[in-house]
Chains A and B, each alone.
Chain A
Amino acid sequence: MHTPACNILTVENLTLDLSGRQILRDISFTVGNSEFLGLIGPNGGGKTSLLRVLLGILNPTIGQIRWSGPDCGKPRIGYVPQRSGMDKDYPLSSREIVKQGADGALPLFGSRRQQVNRKADELLARVGLSDHAETRFVNLSGGQQRRLLLARALMNNPNVLLLDEPTAGVDALGQERFCEILREFAQQGIAVILVSHDISLVTAYADRIACLCVGLHWHGDAQALDQKIVREAYRCELARYQILTEQKSAQIRTRENEACLPKHS
């Protein structure tokens, strides 16, 4: 466990309502530079929504997000999304996809183009995909696609990495390899926020864990996380589901009772 030099992210009293439903409730936490934060929680707990708020894709209903203090520098965010929404037949090569991560809207020319090409090759080597630089995205395995997306996210020299279940569907060895790469980045000063359902993996590599179930159920050192906390956090979703089911059942019962009542003329 190390002590971060400064907080690159401060989230204060964040609440998010979408279509009349509360997705996040009163969430506050900080992330230091070179810190590896694992975000865990049940399905529908708000993990992906929190990342979307941090990215500015969704606007919080209440609360605020502050990126970095004066000593931490301007935030440069790298993002690795859930793989499910992507075009599985995308025809571009690995190198081209990594190059897409570079800033700007105009085409690349001259020395800038060479610089971006060099950087893309370096990053492909760093995630172990040098041999697949010309392979089409569609022809890569699931684990390779995720490492490629990580390389793409690193193209802008980020100081914050947000990753949404990047190891889902990857074999155990691939997951460990992926998290080792993330651990190295954190040691080099990049703040890493990793959303995952693999609690043992996150506890093995992250410095701190935040357990989300609409509200921030638990937040602390990875070593302090125990089975009881996890069970309570996941039960929180179960409890929410049970309340909703009971409300629904009560409504149905009331309707049935009303229908069965003799009609007074």
Chain B
Amino acid sequence: METFFRYGFLERALIAGLLMSITCGLLSPFIVLRRLSFSADGLAHASLGGLALGIFILNSGTTPTLAGYGISFLFTCGVAAGIAYLSSGNRLQSDTAVGACYVAAFSLGILLLTARHRSFNNLEDFFFGSLLAVNSLECWLLGGLSLVTILFCFRYWRWLGQWTFDEELARASAVKTNWLRYTLILLIAATVILSAKVVGIVLVTALLILPGAIGTLSGRSLPVIVTLSLVTAMVSVMLGMAGSNAADVPPGPAIVLIVFSFFLFAFSLRRWRDGRILCTPKRPWECS
């Protein structure tokens, strides 16, 4: 841990990683419970189009600026709106709409990046992150996003719970379900863009889905599920960074593999507990 505070870039990496884990850990249970995992994955891939568009318009280097992040955010929100439009009116399933939009945005991103940088060969920085290259601006943006996410979850805590259970029931209880949906999508869009540097747009999906999945496998109440998700995300990021520093491997994949191992443990534990509690047709001797 001492090593992290000896160098400024390592300190920034640790702060950025923890801030990102707070945002992902809080959003993840609601993404999983509302079955938005594929949408989150689609937006994460689509954000490459936004990041590339920012670089293309501003003719900047491969490190996005504040304006670049703004353009990217607007682009990703545009993709989210496109998905919503295509899947409205019962003409197209939402997963088909997500699949169609994200590949188009992703392809656009690749084309724009190669058009601006003919010899561009650092695409893996966007895909898998370059945590050690995180700058102060990105730390501040991640801090702001974490704060907004905390406030959103606290302010609408019980509405979010009702909405995850049943949309119609929530609407009947005067819960503003559209407001919750659009805010959650905006927060996901901002998270995937700002996480591009930390774990990359391909691997951020793991942090948006797995902590929530671990929470829902282990907890039976929303406070427990969200706490488990938050703690898992934070511990995974810290262990992943420490492990990558010790073993000299990229931090993004190390973080993802650690959170996945927690997921496997939670899944096995749930299976074992369900096996003890439930009687199944295959094990009639357990039925009382």
Interface residues of A (CB under 8 A from B): 55-57, 77, 79, 81, 85-87, 90-93, 96-97, 100-102, 104-108, 134, 136, 139
- Once the chains bind, are B161 and A90 in contact (CB under 8 Å)? no
Question: In the complex the two chains form, is A91's CB within 8 Å of B172's CB?
Answer: no
Beta-carbon contact of A93 and B220 below 8 Å:
yes
Identity of the chain A residue whose Cβ is nearest the Cβ of B277 in the assembled complex: A139
On chain B, the number of residues with a Cβ less than 8 Å from chain A's Cβ atoms is 30
Chain A, Cβ-Cβ closest to B220: A93
Residues of B within 8 A of A108 (CB): 158
7 pairs, CB–CB < 8 Å, chain A vs chain B? A57-B172, A79-B169, A85-B166, A90-B164, A91-B33, A91-B225, A106-B157
A96, B172: Cα distance in complex, Å: 18
Ordered nearest first, which 4 A-B pairs have the shortest CB separation? A93-B220, A79-B172, A107-B157, A105-B159
Partner of A87, one of B157, B166, B223: B166
Contact status of A93 and B172, CB under 8 A, knowing A100-B158, A107-B157, A107-B158: no
Chain B positions within 8 Å of A90 at CB level: 33, 164-165
- Cβ contacts under 8 Å, B159 to chain A: 105
Which residue of B has the minimal Cβ distance to A90?
B165
Known: A92-B220, A93-B221, A106-B158. A87 touches B169 (CB 8 A): no
The answer to whether B154 has its CB under 8 Å from any CB of chain A is yes
Chain A residue nearest to B217 (CB atoms) is A91
- With a cutoff of 8 Å between Cβ atoms, the chain B residues found around residue A106 in the complex are 154-155, 157-158
| CB atoms of A81 and B168 under 8 A apart | yes
The one of A86, A87, A100 that contacts B162, using a Cβ cutoff of 8 Å? A100
Secondary structure of the B contact surface, majority rule: helix
Interface membership of B171, Cβ < 8 A = yes
Q: Of B158, B168, B221, which contacts A57 at CB under 8 A?
A: B168
Residues of B within 8 A of A87 (CB): 33, 35, 164-166
Mark out the residues of chain B between 174 and 231 whose CB falls within 8 Å of any chain A CB in the assembled complex. 174-175, 216-217, 219-223, 225
User: What A residues does B220 contact at CB under 8 A?
Assistant: 91-93, 96, 134, 136
CA distance A105 to B33 in the complex (A): 18
Question: Is A104 in contact with B166, judged by CB distance below 8 angstroms?
Answer: no
Shortest beta-carbon distance from A146 to chain B in Å? 13
- Residues on the A chain within 8 Å of B166, using CB: 81, 85-87
Q: Is the CB of A91 within 8 A of B216?
A: yes
**How far does the alpha carbon of A91 sit from the alpha carbon of B222 in the complex, in Å?**
9
For residue A79, which residues in chain B have a CB less than 8 angstroms away from its CB? 169, 172-173
Which B residues are CB-close (under 8 A) to A93? 220-221
Residues of A near B155 (CB, < 8 A) are 105-106
Contact check, B156 vs A105: say whether CB atoms are below 8 A apart.
yes
Nearest B residue to A51 via CB reads: B172
Known: A96-B222, A100-B165, A106-B157. A55 touches B172 (CB 8 A): yes
B1 interface residue (CB < 8 Å to A): no
A81 touches B172 (CB 8 A): yes
Contacts of B165 in A (CB 8 A): 86-87, 90, 92, 97, 100
Q: Closest Cβ of chain B: how far from A74's Cβ, in Å?
A: 14
Q: How far is B156's CA from A134's CA once the two chains are assembled, in angstroms?
A: 24
CA distance A58 to B185 in the complex (A): 25
Q: How far is the CB of A131 from chain B (nearest CB, A)?
A: 13
**Is the CB of B247 closer than 8 A to any CB of chain A?**
no
Instruction: Say yes or no: is B246 at the interface (Cβ < 8 Å to chain A).
Output: no
- Give the chain B neighbours of A81 by CB distance below 8 A: 166, 168-169, 172
Say if the beta carbon of B278 comes within 8 Å of chain A.
Answer: yes
- Hey, which chain B residues are within 8 Å of A55, CB to CB? 171-172
